[in-house]
C-alpha cells in the first residue's frame, strides 16, 4: 500500500515546500500589521463612500485596479489581516507558477534548478512592500497573473492537443491583460515569455536558422495580442492624468533630451547589480541587523525552521528524482543565461523609461519583474556547484537571508503600525473634537511621513467618518507634510492650497494650522499652543519653526473621548501616563487647574511617571495657579540641569503669569529659581 509520501509527485511536493517556506518568511507577524502609507486614504474613502469609488480613485491612471479592489474589499472589508493573507497566497502561488514554468522548460532533469528558482522568487528579499498589503494588493495580484500567464504560454507551446492548446492560449491572453490592467510597467515580463518561446522553438533538430525563426514567429503571434492589445488601448484610447504613467509623454523625452538615453543606460547597469546582488545583502543589513536582540533571536529561529524545511524537502526530492536529476549541460546553461538576462533587462527597461529605478528599500517594487531573471541566474550558479553539500549550504544561506530580511522588514512595519495607532489613540484622548478646516501638521516618532494622507486619513477616520454623497470626497481635516515648503508656507502665511488627488479634495489653509508632535515612542503626543509652545531638544527643527503658528483653540474641549474604530487603530492601549497627561492637558486648556493636579495624583498613585520631563509643565503650571511652591520646587529639580528644558519651563511659566493671577511667592520663585 502506497503511503502519502509515495503518492505525492515531485511537482506537488515542491509546490508545497515553496508555500510552506514562503509562509515562514511572511506570516509570523502578519496579525500585528495594520494600515500603512497609501492604505489610509483608500480605507477612508471606503468609509465615507462605497466600493464603486475605487473607479474614481484609480480611473486617472490604472482603472483596472478597481476591478481587483472592488471584489477584494467586498470580501475583506476594513480588516487588514485578510488583505495580508490574500497577498501572501498570490505571492506564494506566483513562486509555484515560476517553478512550474522552469519544470516545463527543462523537465524533471532540472527539478533542483526549478525548485530553487521558484522558491527564491517567492521569498525574494529585494521586494519589501509585502506588509503594505492593501495598497500593494494590485502589484502582487498583477505578479500572480503575470507568472500564471507565462506558465500557460509555455504549457500551450508544449501541448499537442488542439483544443487544450486553444484554451491555454486564451487563458494566457486573458491573464496577460489582467496583469497589465494592474501595473502597466509589468509589461517587461513579455521578455520572459518570448525568451521562453524562443528557447522551446530553437531546440528543434535538423532545421535551418530560417525555419527556426519562422517557427518562433508563428508560435509567438497569439501572445503578441497581450502586449499589443494593451498598448493600443493605452496609447490611443486611454488618457492618463499622471505623467509618470503616460507612456507617450515619457518616451518623447528622447527627442527633447537625447542625452537621457545615457542616464537610462547608467540606471540599467546599476539596477542589474541591485536586483541580482544587492538585493541579497543590502536589505538584510538595513533591516535585519538593526533589530533588537530579542527580535533577532526570533528571526534566527524562523530562519532555522525555513532551512530545516528546505533540507527535508531537498532530501525528499532527491529520493524521488535520483534517477532523473542531473547538472545542467552546456546547452541548458546557454538557454538559462539567455532567458535570465533577457528577463532582467525586460523587467528593468520599462521602469527606467519612465525615469524610475530600483532603490532599496523605498522603491523595491521595481524589482518584481526583473527578480524572475535574477533568481534564475542565481539558481544556475548554485546548480553548477560541483559538490551537493556546498549547493545545499549556499541555498540554505540564501533562504536564511531572505527570511531574516522579511522578518526585519515586517518588524519595521509592525513598529510603524503600533506607533501610528498609539499616536492617534493619544490624539483621541486629548481632543474630543477638532474644528473642520484646520490644517494638521504632525510628526510621528521614527516614522516617515511622505504624504499628507498619512495624517488626514487617520484623523478623519476618527473625527469625520460620516458618509458623503458628494463627489469628490471633501477632506474635512486636511493636512500637510512638514517639509521645507510647508514651513515656508506657514511662516509666511502662504494662503490656501486646494489639491484634488484621486477623488479627494482638500483646502489647506496655511494660516490656520494645528501642530501635533511626538518626539519619541516613549513620550506623549503634544498639541502645540502657538502662544506658548512646549518644545524639547529632540523636536525636529521644522516643528520649532512652525510651533508659534499652531492654533490650539481649534481643539474643541467639550465632549467625551471620540469613538476610535478598533478595526483600524486596534484596541485601546493601557491608560498609562500618556492617558493622564492628555487628559490633564485637555482640562488645562479648559482652565480647570484643580482637575490637572487631581489627575497627577491619580497617575502617581498608580505608579505612572513621564519619560519626557517636558510633560511636567502642565502640572507645574497648575501648582503655580494654586500657589503650591513646594511642589513646583520638587518638579524644578527634574529639569534644572537641562538648559533647553529649563528655558522652555521659564517661558511657559512666564506666559502663565501673564494670563493667570499668581501669588508673589510663586512669581518670585519663577524669577529667581527657574528663569535666572
Angstrom distance (rounded) from CA 402 to CA 95: 14
Helical H runs in 431-474? 453-463
In DSSP notation, 344-377 reads HHHHHHHHHHTT---BTTTBGGGGTTHHHHHHHH
443 membership: H or E segment, kind and range: strand 439-443
Domains (range + CATH), the chain: 9-413 (no CATH), 433-557 (no CATH), 574-676 (1.25.40)
Once rounded to an integer, what is the mean pLDDT over residues 525-551? 92
Burial-class residue 557 by CB neighbours within 10 Å (0-12, 13-18, 19+). middle
Residue 251: band (very low, low, confident or very high) from pLDDT cuts 50, 70, 90: low
Per the CB < 8 A criterion, the answer to whether 168 and 101 are in contact is no
How, if at all, do strands 526-527 and 504-505 pair? unpaired
Once rounded to an integer, what is the mean pLDDT over residues 419-440? 96
Angstrom distance (rounded) from CA 43 to CA 676: 52
Is residue 555 helix, strand or coil? strand
Per the CB < 8 A criterion, the answer to whether 526 and 547 are in contact is no
Nearest-CA neighbor of 302 among 15, 30, 16?
Answer: 30
pLDDT value of residue 323: 44
Residue 99 confidence (pLDDT) above 90: yes
Q: DSSP secondary-structure letter at 77?
A: T
Residue 247: band (very low, low, confident or very high) from pLDDT cuts 50, 70, 90: low
Angstrom distance (rounded) from CA 146 to CA 193: 10
Nearest-CA neighbor of 150 among 380, 374, 369, 377?
Answer: 369
- Write the pLDDT tens digit of every residue in 286-298: 999 999 999 999 9
pLDDT value of residue 416: 93
pLDDT value of residue 424: 96
- Write the pLDDT tens digit of every residue in 40-97: 999 999 999 999 999 999 988 899 999 999 999 999 999 999 999 999 999 999 999 9
Least confident among 146-150, 391-395, 528-532, 660-664: 660-664
Q: How far is CA 620 from CA 350, 596, 627, 674, in A?
A: 61, 10, 10, 11
Angstrom distance (rounded) from CA 168 to CA 153: 7
pLDDT value of residue 4: 53
- Write the pLDDT tens digit of every residue in 193-234: 999 999 999 887 777 888 889 999 998 999 999 999 988 888
pLDDT value of residue 536: 87
Range among 324-338, 427-441, 531-545 rated most confident:
427-441
In DSSP notation, 247-308 reads HHHHHTHHHH-TTHHHHHHHHHHHHHHHHHTGGGTHHIIIIITTS-HHHHHHHHHHHHHHHH
**Lookup result for grid cell 541587523:** 289
Please, what is the angle between helix 189-202 and helix 370-383, to 10°? 50
648 membership: H or E segment, kind and range: helix 643-659
pLDDT value of residue 241: 64
Per the CB < 8 A criterion, the answer to whether 409 and 283 are in contact is yes
Rounded to the nearest integer, the mean pLDDT of the chain is 90
Please, what is the angle between helix 593-605 and helix 577-590, to 10°? 170
Once rounded to an integer, what is the mean pLDDT over residues 499-519? 93
Angstrom distance (rounded) from CA 593 to CA 419: 30
- Over pLDDT 90: what percentage of the chain? 68
- Over pLDDT 70: what percentage of the chain? 93
Angstrom distance (rounded) from CA 146 to CA 189: 7
Per the CB < 8 A criterion, the answer to whether 173 and 148 are in contact is no
- Write the pLDDT tens digit of every residue in 590-635: 999 999 999 999 999 999 999 998 999 999 999 999 999 898 888 8
How, if at all, do strands 433-434 and 496-497 pair? unpaired
- Write the pLDDT tens digit of every residue in 306-361: 999 999 888 876 655 554 455 567 778 899 999 999 999 999 999 998 888 899 88
Amino acid at each position: 500500500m502506497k503511503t502519502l509520501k509515495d503518492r505525492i509527485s515531485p511537482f506537488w511536493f515542491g509546490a508545497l515546500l515553496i508555500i510552506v517556506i514562503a509562509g515562514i518568511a511572511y506570516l509570523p507577524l502578519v496579525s500585528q500589521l495594520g494600515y500603512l502609507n497609501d492604505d489610509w486614504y483608500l480605507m477612508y474613502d471606503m468609509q465615507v463612500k462605497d466600493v464603486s469609488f475605487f473607479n474614481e480613485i484609480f480611473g486617472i491612471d490604472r482603472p483596472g485596479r478597481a476591478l481587483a479592489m472592488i471584489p477584494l474589499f467586498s470580501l475583506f472589508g476594513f480588516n487588514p489581516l485578510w488583505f495580508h493573507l490574500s497577498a501572501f497566497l498570490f505571492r506564494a502561488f506566483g513562486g509555484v507558477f515560476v517553478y512550474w514554468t522552469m519544470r516545463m522548460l527543462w523537465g524533471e532533469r532540472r527539478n533542483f534548478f526549478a525548485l530553487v528558482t521558484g522558491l527564491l522568487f517567492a521569498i525574494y528579499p529585494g521586494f519589501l512592500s509585502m506588509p503594505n498589503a492593501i495598497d500593494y494588493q494590485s502589484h502582487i495580484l498583477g505578479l500572480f497573473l503575470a507568472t500564471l500567464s507565462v506558465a500557460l504560454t509555455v504549457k500551450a507551446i508544449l501541448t499537442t492537443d488542439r483544443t487544450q492548446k486553444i484554451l491555454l492560449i486564451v487563458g494566457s491572453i486573458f491573464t496577460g491583460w489582467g496583469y497589465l490592467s494592474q501595473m502597466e510597467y509589468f509589461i517587461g515580463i513579455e521578455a520572459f515569455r518570448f525568451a521562453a518561446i524562443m528557447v522551446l522553438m530553437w531546440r528543434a533538430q535538423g532545421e535551418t536558422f530560417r525555419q527556426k525563426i519562422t517557427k518562433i514567429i508563428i508560435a509567438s503571434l497569439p501572445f503578441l495580442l497581450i502586449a499589443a492589445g494593451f498598448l493600443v488601448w493605452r496609447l490611443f484610447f486611454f488618457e492618463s492624468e499622471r505623467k509618470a504613467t503616460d507612456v507617450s509623454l515619457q518616451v518623447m523625452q528622447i527627442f527633447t533630451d537625447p542625452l537621457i538615453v545615457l542616464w537610462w543606460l547608467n540606471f540599467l547597469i546599476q539596477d542589474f547589480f541591485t536586483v541580482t546582488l544587492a538585493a541579497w545583502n543590502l536589505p538584510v543589513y538595513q533591516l535585519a541587523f538593526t533589530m533588537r536582540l530579542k527580535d533577532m533571536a526570533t528571526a534566527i529561529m524562523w530562519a532555522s525552521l525555513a532551512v530545516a524545511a528546505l533540507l527535508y524537502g531537498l532530501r525528499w526530492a532527491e529520493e524521488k528524482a535520483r534517477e532523473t536529476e542531473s547538472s545542467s549541460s552546456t546547452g541548458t546553461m546557454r538557454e538559462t543565461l539567455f532567458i535570465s538576462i533577457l528577463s532582467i533587462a525586460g523587467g528593468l527597461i520599462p521602469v527606467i523609461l519612465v525615469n524610475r529605478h530600483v532603490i532599496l528599500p523605498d522603491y523595491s517594487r521595481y524589482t518584481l519583474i526583473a527578480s524572475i531573471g535574477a533568481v534564475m541566474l542565481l539558481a544556475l550558479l548554485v546548480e553548477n556547484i560541483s559538490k551537493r553539500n556546498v549547493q545545499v549550504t549556499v541555498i540554505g544561506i540564501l533562504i536564511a537571508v531572505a527570511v531574516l530580511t522579511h522578518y526585519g522588514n515586517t518588524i519595521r512595519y509592525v513598529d510603524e503600525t503600533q506607533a501610528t495607532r498609539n499616536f492617534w489613540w493619544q490624539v483621541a484622548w486629548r481632543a474630543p473634537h477638532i474644528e473642520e478646516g484646520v490644517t494638521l501638521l504632525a510628526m510621528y516618532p521614527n516614522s516617515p511621513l511622505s504624504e499628507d494622507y498619512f495624517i488626514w486619513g487617520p484623523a478623519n477616520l476618527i473625527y469625520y467618518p460620516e458618509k458623503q454623497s458628494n463627489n469628490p470626497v471633501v477632506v474635512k481635516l486636511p493636512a500637510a507634510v512638514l517639509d521645507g515648503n510647508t514651513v515656508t508656507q506657514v511662516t509666511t502665511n502662504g494662503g490656501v492650497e486646494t489639491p484634488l488627488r484621486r477623488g479627494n479634495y482638500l483646502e489647506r489653509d496655511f494660516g490656520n494650522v494645528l501642530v501635533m508632535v511626538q518626539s519619541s515612542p516613549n513620550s506623549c503626543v503634544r498639541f502645540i499652543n502657538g502662544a506658548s509652545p512646549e518644545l524639547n531638544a529632540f523636536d525636529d527643527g521644522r516643528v520649532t519653526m512652525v510651533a508659534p503658528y499652531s492654533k490650539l483653540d481649534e481643539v474643541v474641549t467639550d465632549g467625551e473621548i471620540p469613538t476610535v474604530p478598533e478595526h483600524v487603530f486596534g484596541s485601546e492601549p493601557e491608560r498609562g501616563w500618556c492617558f493622564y497627561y492628555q487628559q490633564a492637558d485637555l482640562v488645562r486648556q479648559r482652565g480647570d487647574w484643580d482637575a490637572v493636579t487631581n489627575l497627577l495624583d491619580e497617575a502617581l498613585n498608580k505608579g505612572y511617571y513621564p519619560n519626557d520631563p517636558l510633560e511636567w509643565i502642565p502640572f507645574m503650571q497648575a501648582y503655580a495657579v494654586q500657589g503650591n511652591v513646594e511642589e513646583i520646587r520638587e518638579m524644578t529639580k527634574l529639569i534644572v540641569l537641562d538648559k533647553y528644558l529649563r528655558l522652555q519651563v521659564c517661558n511657559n511659566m512666564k506666559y502663565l503669569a501673564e494670563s493667570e493671577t499668581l501669588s508673589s511667592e510663586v512669581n518670585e520663585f519663577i524669577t529667581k529659581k527657574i528663569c535666572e
